[in-house]
Amino acid sequence: MPIRQITVYGEPVLHKRAVEVTQFDDELRHLVADMHTTMDAAHGVGLAAPQIGLGLRMFTYVYADQDDAQERGVVINPKLTLSKVSQGVPDAEDDSEGCLSVPGLDFPLKRADYAKVEGFDEFGNPISFEAHGWFARIMQHEYDHLDGLLYVDKLQPRWEKRWKKAKKSLGWGVPGNTWLPGTDADPFGH
């Protein structure tokens, strides 16, 4: 399966709501396989379709420490039910988050500790599971991509200021920036 280019902050597809998937066919299953290959090559724990330039409501994930979800999977047309998000100050270490579309950077962000995830697999079968802790963070992060949000769009003012400075110095915020996992230098140093 081919590795896809990952879009970087500023690409329009990343900043608008993705559309529902309506066809559960071989083409979709090939796309899911490509997304897993790309996510693995990028050493990611999740990858949303908008991150590879496709405005579809779907994401892949890999995470080993959960109870009732597959270690590796896809969620298509997801719905999330969340616990409350703490309004406290995010911890720079415990709440630090990164993103393949904001390569090489990370900032702290508070997330809900629980998410109920419902949707469909690549065959159109309904799926439902609960996510806690870091796995819940991954689900929320990927789901936000489907609504045209990146985690850096939700930062508290202190961290938002640092993000804006980094974005400007890197020349992001405009279309046309991408990176190819396995070919380009790994922005996360894996």
Is residue 46 within 8 A of residue 138, CB to CB? The reply is: yes
Across residues 14-43, what is the average pLDDT? 97
* Per-domain boundaries in the chain: 6-87+105-179
Instruction: Exactly one of 27, 93, 142, 160 is catalytic; name it.
Output: 142
Architecture in CATH of 6-87+105-179: Alpha-Beta Complex (3.90)
Q: How far apart are the C-alpha atoms of 169 and 9, rounded to whole Å?
A: 13
* Nearest alpha carbon to residue 141 among 34, 59, 21, 41: 59
Across residues 139-156, what is the average pLDDT? 97
Q: Tell me whether residue 71 is one of the annotated catalytic residues.
A: no
| Side chain identity, residue 54 | L
> What is the per-residue pLDDT across 22-33, written as a single tens digit (0 to 9) for each?
999 999 999 999
Share of the chain above pLDDT 70, in %: 97
Distance of CA 153 to the CA centre of its chain: 13
Nearby residues of 79 by Cβ (< 8 Å), 6 or more positions away: 117, 118, 119
Q: How far apart are the C-alpha atoms of 52 and 13, rounded to whole Å?
A: 9
**Residue 141 in marked binding region:** yes
**Residue 99 in marked binding region:** yes
**Residue 190 in marked binding region:** no
